[in-house]
């Protein structure tokens, strides 16, 4: 027995809603850890170099952001991450430029000389890559929308019904 199911992909409004929801939750949840960055880095900096402490803490905040993003998208079954990946890459690039600009304004040349710019670049790139890699590897059915030829929305035509439709 074949089961015929219609699996509809979400419309543009739902994609925008999910994007805004994921962004809002990421902003709200990562706000406090982001504000505590200097305190935490100072505490960790006693045991590690400044760059290592910066990389660990910003990496943890980036990973938290990625997990929130993937969690929100996993709630919606007809929203596929592959459709938003170009926007995720663009948002990652803009996020890096925004972070680098703010950090450069605060720290000046120290931001570039100490290599923090490269840590921020790596954090953004790895975060976006994880958003691409985890669903594509572990949940391929949730990553990309189904092809039209693999989903039947109606029973296949029999030879008798095909002849009727031709006439």
For residue range 58-99, what is the model confidence (pLDDT) as tens digits? Answer: 889 999 999 999 999 889 888 888 888 889 899 889 988 988
In a domain, 128, yes or no: yes
Name the percent of the chain in helix, strand, coil, to the closest 5: 75, 0, 25
- pLDDT score of 63: 92
Domain membership flag for residue 150: no
Q: How many domains in the chain?
A: 1
Residue 156 has a pLDDT of: 53
Length of the chain: 167
Query: Higher confidence at residue 16 or residue 162?
Result: 16
CA-nearest of 102, 103, 93 to 128 is 93
Confirm whether 71 is domain-assigned.
yes
Under the banding of pLDDT at 50, 70 and 90, the label for residue 5 is very low
Tell me whether residue 34 is in a domain: yes
User: Does residue 7 lie within any of the structural domains?
Assistant: no
Instruction: Supply the range of the domain harboring residue 106.
Output: 12-144
**Half-sphere exposure (Cβ direction) of 8: Cα atoms closer than 13 Å:** 4
Q: Is 149 within a domain? A: no
Q: Would you tell me how many other CB atoms lie within 10 Å of the CB of residue 36?
A: 13
The DSSP string of 44-111 is: HTTTS-HHHHHHHHHHHHHHHHHHHHHHHHHH-TT--HHHHHHHHHHHHHHHHHHHHHHHHHHHTHHH
């Amino acid at each position: 027995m074949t089961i015929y199911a219609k699996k509809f992909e979400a419309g543009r409004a739902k994609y925008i809603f999910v994007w805004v929801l994921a962004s809002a939750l990421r902003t709200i949840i990562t706000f406090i850890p982001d504000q505590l960055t200097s305190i935490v880095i100072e505490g960790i900096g006693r045991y590690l170099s400044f760059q290592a402490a910066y990389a660990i803490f910003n990496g943890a905040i980036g990973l938290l952001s990625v997990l929130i993003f993937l969690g929100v998208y996993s709630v919606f079954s007809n929203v596929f991450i592959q459709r938003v990946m170009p926007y995720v890459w663009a948002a990652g690039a803009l996020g890096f430029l925004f972070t680098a600009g703010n950090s450069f304004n605060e720290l000046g040349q120290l931001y570039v000389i100490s290599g923090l710019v490269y840590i921020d670049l790596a954090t953004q790139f790895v975060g976006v890559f994880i958003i691409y890699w985890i669903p594509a590897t572990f949940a391929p059915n949730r990553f990309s929308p189904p092809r039209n030829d693999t989903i039947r929305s109606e029973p296949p035509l029999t030879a008798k019904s095909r002849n009727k439709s031709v006439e």
